[in-house]
Structure 1
Amino acid sequence: MSADHPVADLAEPPALAPPKSAGGGVQSLERAFAILETMADAGGVISLSQLANDAQLPLPTIHRLVRTLVDLGYVRQEASRQYSLGPRLIRLGETTSRMVSRWARPHMERLAHELGESVNLAMLDGDQVVYIGQVMASRNSMRMFTEVGRRVLPHSTGVGKAIMADMDPEAVRAILARTGMPAGTEHTITDPEAFAAELGRTRERGYALDEGEQEVGVRCVAVAIPGSPQPLALSVSGPLPRMTDAFIESATTPMHAVAAAISAEMRGATS
């Protein structure tokens, strides 16, 4: 090889690194996740033009990123030409739910030991509440509807009320319009205005109550997990004779402490 053609000249040019955002991250990744979060905020289904408007990105950029997400299975195009969250997100969501339950479990165990009643962790998944964690109190265990994996409508549960009390009222009304408000028991609130008033009381006192609205004879007190990226709530439930007003009054302070600890645990795991 002659000196006129050094090896360095024949080597392929180095690949260009993906553009970085001002914060040091990869811009295309940040935008892709912004798209997924915007779709989730819109209920999971959205038009391309609304997506561009809500995500505050140029339409050609949105189109290119969405097509990539469609090819990967994280977004799908509907017959209406709108776009929805895709099936490949299901596995990620299920795994994340298990991880959240794992991070929360030591704190839930401490609370169950202190209060002597079952402790549950639930999240809002679409228009339903799904229970993702539970610790049974060994000395007072009883089988209840709050089993891990169980899905219920949020209006008839303490965890649902705790979550919805922190939501925009319009978003709450939209969920109730889609699901209806069927009565689980004779105690279930089935009127939207009465439910809105109950959410107001929940905000004022800092905790939600399920007064036998999902299962007769079972009372539940619930608090939201603050600062959670996915709406989460913690509850303590038990038979009505044990879940007295005095018990609930004494339970709410340690429940808020555990909710804050779970929130901190999640932030630490994602930082």
Structure 2
Amino acid sequence: MALAALLVAALSGCSGDGRTADPAPTARPRWQPGPGLAWQWQLDGKVDPSADVPVYDIDGFENSAADVARLHRDGRKVICYVNVGAWEDFRPDKDAFPRSVLGEPNGWAGERWLDIRRLSVLRPLMERRFDMCRDKGFDAVEPDLMEGYGNETGFPLTARDQLRYNRMIAGLAHERGLSVGLKNDLPQIPELVGDFDFAVNEECAQYDECDRLTPFVAAGKAVFHVEYTEPAGEFCPQSRRLRLSSMLKKPELGVWRRPC
């Protein structure tokens, strides 16, 4: 009889003394930003919370859990910027990358392309970076430099290599309850729009490519977009028509912004 009672209690969600058992913990739903959502993108130094927008995209290493919590208290969602396509000699985990995966300089000081074919090497390194984003309380990840296959990296990277790596990156974010954005990589949007929760784009208006981002908008997903040299009066009408989250920024990505 005692065994039967325990089985009944277990099946009914009750503890052995008649109290209702605590429900199993559930993962928080993943944030899904929609088209047209205003944002701030600041990668230069610690975040300045003065922009009155619902979304902030900030450097994951240079900002603390307290910085993220402060933005959350103000009702903002916060995106964690992390470089996944290049090694950076100024990051605290720089020595964890073996020299065999370091390629040519990518044009930014202290950065070299990564051999994204080496998934077994790069996966644990990126897992630790995404763990950092999760542990600091970020809502999402902006993984940068996701189109090495179209550049002179020092490695014979193919479009297939990039698809496989980018899908791995999306999976790492989702496993941690984080949303993830596809950074640039316009040619692969048709294959990747289902794997990513939003897009981040630089200068689609300058190169007359903004229409290529419409699959994200059609899927109800935000496209966070910046221009650096195009006048706002020239690209903003198209941005509004396409429902992009667009603004003019200076290339150093400091506090200054001019939204559409």
Q: Identify whether the pair has TM-score above 0.5, normalized to the shorter chain.
A: no
Q: Normalising to structure 1: TM-score of the pair?
A: 0.25
Q: Which has the higher contact order (CA 8 A, sep 6+)?
A: 2
Decide which structure has greater helix share: 1
Q: Rg bigger for which structure?
A: 1
Q: Normalising to structure 2: TM-score of the pair?
A: 0.26
